[in-house]
Amino acid sequence: MKGMVWFVSTTIGGAVGWWAGAFVGIYTAVSLSAVGSGVALYYARRLADDFLP
């Protein structure tokens, strides 16, 4: 279950980063997508460890 939460959160975080960076250019979109995925994974792991068994 934790893996599913991590996967969904990194997908959403990457999509949000891509969307935000796409206004500037392709390289910014790729960079912000990676950052968004990483940040989302960090917080998803923290929340999953606290709330899921």
Could you give the CA distance from residue 15 to residue 43 in angstroms, rounded to a whole number? 16
Residue 16's CB is within 10 A of a number of other CB atoms, namely: 16
Specify the pTM: 0.88
Length of the chain: 53
Distance of CA 16 to the CA centre of its chain: 8
Domain borders along the chain are 2-51
Give the pLDDT of residue 9: 97
Token duo for residue 16 = 């949000």
Per-residue pLDDT tens for 20-52? 999 999 999 999 999 999 999 999 999 999 998
